[in-house]
């Protein structure tokens, strides 16, 4: 049973309700409640219910290949040279324990055929997937016409995927509406990875080289680790035709639920690449409020941190990662922000969300202020001392801490 209290506006009463462990506080002072809660939450988030290991009833093994029937239109297709398959979650797929759909398996010599209500998968032999040994066939409705019709669509490895409608992009930096594709040399207006929606009626999610999640004894619960060097394929085919709503729904079934973005993320974000001080930022935020400009997020651009000898010219000093020294930074520039904690607090009191512009290209250098704290937390959380030689640790030397797995 959940305990909800209302309307709690006084600080003493709010503190008492938090101490009592109520599930929900209705208040006219949400910012006060948030500040008193700190990092805690009233109602802990429910378990996500994800299980990366599929129901054994959904699994079909054929030599060095393994197929997992996740839905009638979504099948995982694995091949591993050593015949050892991956049951851990990957960066893109966290749940494979789905209701097992009805399907049949037929074996004839070296050929195996898996048939669901919607697709037919055929695989022959035990070699790495290619256009000669693997195919997936399904019917796709054809729009228009007096009578409903459908065409047969067949996917094979290497098939043209130009009908894919795109997924996400790592960055829109320097995107000027015409980008040259590095490999093909062709111009494209969509610097996107492939997604699960396609005019072709099928889409492939390739997790072959993606990191896996491994359990760790830390607050993170899980951390990322690289796969071993075994040649392998780990593909997911979404054969949903133009039923885009069902494709997206089942994508969340295996990739995890997608949180609803807070309203402020859809509002006005203010940002300017300029060397502002804390006083100038606060004056600007107060001006927004005084003029009733509905700004939601204040972006503190990169000059919040020490830029050391950063030069915008070609002669800037480079670090061991080939980046300009000062492009990455984690040390507050005290000449501009003498009291960062108070500065951020005042912005929050003005009902401004804040974010710091950061370019995490070079790990954390030994000369950065939070270096020691980061190393202690990072290495204890990941049990990862890779690259930090024993003799260097014994001599008290400090190495740059790269983000090895992120």
Measured distance CA(18)–CA(37) in Å, rounded: 8
Residues pairing with 318 in the sheet: 324
- pTM here? 0.74
pLDDT exceeds 80 at position 66: yes
pLDDT confidence of residue 124: 97
Burial class (CB in 10 A: 0-12, 13-18, 19+), 215: exposed
pLDDT confidence of residue 146: 76
Q: What is the pLDDT of residues 296-332, one digit of tens each?
A: 999 999 999 998 776 665 677 888 888 888 889 999 9
Residue with tokens 């022959």: 124
pLDDT exceeds 90 at position 129: yes
DSSP state of 286: H
Residues pairing with 353 in the sheet: 297
Averaged pLDDT of the chain: 86
pLDDT confidence of residue 311: 62
Domain residue ranges in the chain? 4-37, 56-255, 263-362
pLDDT confidence of residue 190: 55
Q: What is the pLDDT of residues 270-295, one digit of tens each?
A: 999 999 999 999 999 999 999 999 99
Measured distance CA(356)–CA(306) in Å, rounded: 13
Quote the longest CA-to-CA distance of the chain. 81
Which stretch of DSSP H or E encloses residue 103?
A: strand 103-108
pLDDT exceeds 90 at position 95: yes
Q: For residue 250, which of 98, 138, 104 has the smallest C-alpha distance? A: 98
pLDDT confidence of residue 394: 43
Coil/strand/helix, residue 253: helix
Q: Residue 387 — very low, low, confident or very high, per pLDDT cuts 50/70/90?
A: very low
Coil/strand/helix, residue 325: coil
Written in H, E and C, the secondary structure of 228-275 is CCCCEEEEEEECCCCCHHHHHHHHHHHHCCCCCCCHHHHCEEECCCCC
Q: What is the pLDDT of residues 156-205, one digit of tens each?
A: 999 999 999 988 876 666 666 555 555 555 555 556 788 999 999 999 99
Q: Residue 261 — very low, low, confident or very high, per pLDDT cuts 50/70/90?
A: confident
Please state the rounded mean pLDDT for residues 130-153. Answer: 90
pLDDT exceeds 60 at position 384: no
Measured distance CA(281)–CA(78) in Å, rounded: 53
Fold of the 56-255 domain:
Immunoglobulin-like (2.60.40)
The count of C-alpha atoms lying within 13 angstroms of the C-alpha of 321, restricted to the half-sphere facing its C-beta, is: 18
Measured distance CA(6)–CA(264) in Å, rounded: 25
């Amino acid at each position: 049973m959940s305990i909800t209290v209302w309307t709690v506006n006084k600080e003493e009463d709010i503190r008492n309700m938090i101490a009592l462990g109520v599930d929900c506080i209705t208040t006219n002072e949400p910012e006060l409640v948030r500040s008193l809660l700190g990092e805690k939450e009233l109602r802990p988030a429910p378990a996500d219910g994800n299980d990366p290991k599929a129901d054994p009833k959904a699994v079909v093994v054929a030599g060095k290949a393994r197929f997992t029937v996740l839905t009638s239109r979504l099948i995982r297709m694995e091949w591993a040279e050593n015949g050892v398959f991956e049951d851990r979650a990957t960066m893109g797929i966290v749940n494979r324990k789905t209701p097992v759909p009805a399907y049949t398996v037929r074996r004839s010599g070296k050929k195996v055929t898996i048939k669901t209500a919607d697709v037919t998968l055929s695989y022959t032999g035990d070699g790495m997937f290619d256009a000669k040994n693997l195919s997936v066939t399904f019917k796709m409705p054809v729009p228009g016409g007096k009578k409903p019709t459908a065409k047969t669509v067949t996917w094979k490895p290497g098939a043209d995927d130009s009908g894919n409608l795109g997924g996400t992009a790592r960055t829109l930096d320097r995107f000027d509406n015409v980008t040259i594709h590095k490999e093909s040399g062709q111009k494209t207006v969509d610097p996107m990875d492939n997604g699960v929606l396609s005019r072709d009626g099928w889409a492939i999610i390739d997790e072959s080289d993606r990191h896996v999640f491994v359990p760790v004894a830390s607050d993170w619960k899980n951390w990322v680790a690289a796969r071993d060097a075994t040649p392998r394929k780990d593909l997911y085919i979404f054969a949903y035709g133009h039923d885009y709503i069902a494709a997206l729904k089942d994508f969340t079934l295996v990739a995890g639920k997608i949180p609803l973005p807070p309203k402020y993320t859809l509002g006005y974000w203010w940002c300017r690449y300029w060397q502002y001080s804390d006083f100038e930022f606060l004056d600007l935020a107060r001006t927004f409020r005084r003029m009733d400009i509905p700004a939601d997020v204040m972006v503190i651009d990169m000059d919040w941190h020490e830029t050391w000898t950063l030069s915008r010219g070609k002669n800037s000093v480079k670090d061991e990662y080939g980046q300009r020294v000062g492009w990455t930074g984690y040390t507050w520039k005290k000449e501009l922000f003498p009291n960062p904690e108070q500065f951020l607090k005042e912005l929050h009191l003005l009902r401004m969300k804040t974010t710091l512009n950061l370019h995490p290209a070079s790990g954390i250098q030994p000369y950065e202020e939070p270096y020691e704290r980061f190393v202690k937390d990072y290495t204890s959380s990941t049990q990862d001392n890779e690259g930090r030689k024993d003799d260097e640790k014994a001599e008290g030397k400090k190495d740059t801490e790269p983000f090895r797995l992120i």
